[in-house]
Copies of this chain bind each other. A is one copy, B any other.
């Protein structure tokens, strides 16, 4: 296995305070791996023996019910730590992570978490900061789910993906990873049928442009209004 380059980590929040030598040290303990679209990185209930950093690609974090229904709890984008159950003293992962697009991630043995927080200034602080943001996001989604009508939720879900991964094209802003109607329904707790109808309607109104597994938002402002941003 070739040595990983230091530039992979420089500039990322958890490592921003570190010396070059320290980053080297961290990388020497890391394992790098590529995941095809649809491949699980880890599964709900399995031994939480490693923690991860996404270098490239996008992930979906999923929870399933006993009845077989599933929902997408959040998305992970490049530069983020994930699977940090070990940081929370959990011995199993509470959710499943799946590559939404071809992805590359580093990972470390869970045992190293303690070493990292102890040895590297800023690492713990920044990690827990991320965790706090994530907790806030989930609470946000929860309130939304409990109080908002389907159309608002779907609009909000699309916006969230755009905000996290949007990149400009000539027609508008596109979501950088493949998304199916089913995926969106799993984010919003509705059916793919309803999502399909909504997207069709929005397309008619010139708000989005969508093909098979691909969505471009042509009128973000209209979508923000639909999402009910207190208007």
Contacts and interface: CB of A to CB of B under 8 A. Distances in A.
Can you tell how many copies of this chain the complex includes? 2
A69 B146 CA distance: 9
A67 B147 contact: yes
Nearest to A147: B69
Contacts of A119: none
A90 interface: yes
A125 B143 CA distance: 29
A65 B136 contact: no
A209 to B, nearest CB: 27
Contacts of A129: 88-90
Interface in A119-151: 125, 128-129, 131-136, 138-148
A155 B185 CA distance: 25
Interface string A47-88: 000000000000000011111011101000000000001011
Given A88-B132, A138-B135, A228 B67 contact: yes
B189 A145 contact: yes
A140 B145 CA distance: 13
A136 B73 CA distance: 11
Interface in A92-116: 94-95
Given A71-B142, A135-B138, A145-B146, A128 B89 contact: yes
A138 to B, nearest CB: 6
Contacts of A132: 85, 87-90, 94
A152 to B, nearest CB: 10
The interface residues of chain A, by DSSP majority, are classed as helix
A142 B69 CA distance: 12
A188 interface: yes
Contacts of A139: 63, 73, 94-95, 138
A79 to B, nearest CB: 17
A7 interface: no
Contacts of A90: 129, 132, 136
A58 to B, nearest CB: 19
Interface of A: 63-67, 69-71, 73, 85, 87-90, 94-95, 125, 128-129, 131-136, 138-148, 188-189, 228-230
